[in-house]
Structure 1
């Protein structure tokens, strides 16, 4: 099943907490789709890291760190799934 919509938007939704990746959900994607998802997760993570947040704004720092945490967790899930299924990424 191809990725519905933009892969970058999928990564942004994961960062925002609107979507979570799980191994049963990843079964629908081809190896090329999984590579695209990983690339876009990295791209969105770089964009979030580039955001300048004041260190005094605790809520903004927390929100930025939560987004990065969600993206990192999604990347770990995809890489573990690929390793289990022996898909080279």
Structure 2
């Protein structure tokens, strides 16, 4: 049975906080893939990156949903419900 996200109502229209991972840019580090918080627009790096800043942002803020910030990708993830979201429709 597919997981269901119960936090869709918390998605906002957001403006990206930076052109890359906000924390990695400040630290002069690199990242693998980018994620954007759909509550506030924070751009952080994925869990395959050294900093794991998108997940750290979730733990600091409890903002539940991120989306891929990579060109051509239209999926998201709800940390709380552990559910993948399809934004292609």
Common fold by TM > 0.5: no
Question: Which structure's CA Rg is the greater one?
Answer: 1
Please give the range of the TM-score, normalised by the shorter of the 2 chains: under 0.3
TM-score normalised by L of structure 1: 0.26
Whichever structure has more strand as a proportion of its residues is 2
TM-score normalised by L of structure 2: 0.26
Q: Which of structures 1 and 2 has the larger relative contact order (alpha carbons within 8 angstroms, sep 6+)?
A: 1
Whichever structure has more helix as a proportion of its residues is 1
